[in-house]
Amino acid sequence: MNELYEVWNQDLKKAIEHAKAIGRYELADYLTLKASNDAIRKESIKWLFDSVLEIVFAFNRHGAKIKIEQKEKHRFKFDKRHLSGSVLRLQQGVRCLSIEAGWTQSPTDGIMRGGALAYANISHFGFKKKDEELVLLKYEERPQWFSIDGEKHRVSFNVKSFRKHFEVFLG
């Protein structure tokens, strides 16, 4: 996967240089912005998953025996959009906690509305009412995850926000 990512970055750099060389500065700016946003998305999703894994490792050190499954190439629906990204599944007995995170990557996937960089679903098997949707936005010039509570109301989401999910997950 890293080799493919490196090849993609090299091709993208060549495309940006070529666009500048032929005077297509708007295309070069677009490709530069896309590359920057994709890097922000990847790092923000990595932070989300790493935060969960830190909590899981702490529980497992104390005998929780939580099973971990992570998949990098994952497609899922978020509202009417089709997103590509990653999924992290935690399992303990019959309980399952899943975190899906990604973004639209082609025109047929839908539109990222309201300045969203990425979306995430946190879902509890068998406890639908405890599920939560997240949106990644630039806030005060840095990326930040927000819980989507209704159409306009958003609440900051951080490591402490996972507590309620682990309380449901671990029963």
Please, which pLDDT band fits residue 5 given cuts at 50, 70 and 90? low
Least trusted range by pLDDT, from 7-11, 81-85, 94-98: 7-11
Residues 37-70 have pLDDT tens digits of 889 999 999 999 999 999 999 999 999 999 999 9
E strand map for the chain: 67-78, 81-92, 95-103, 118-124, 132-139, 142-148, 154-156
Report the predicted TM-score, pTM, of the whole model to 2 decimal places.
0.85
Asked whether residue 130 carries a pLDDT value surpassing 80, the answer given is yes
Residue ranges of the domains in the chain? 2-170
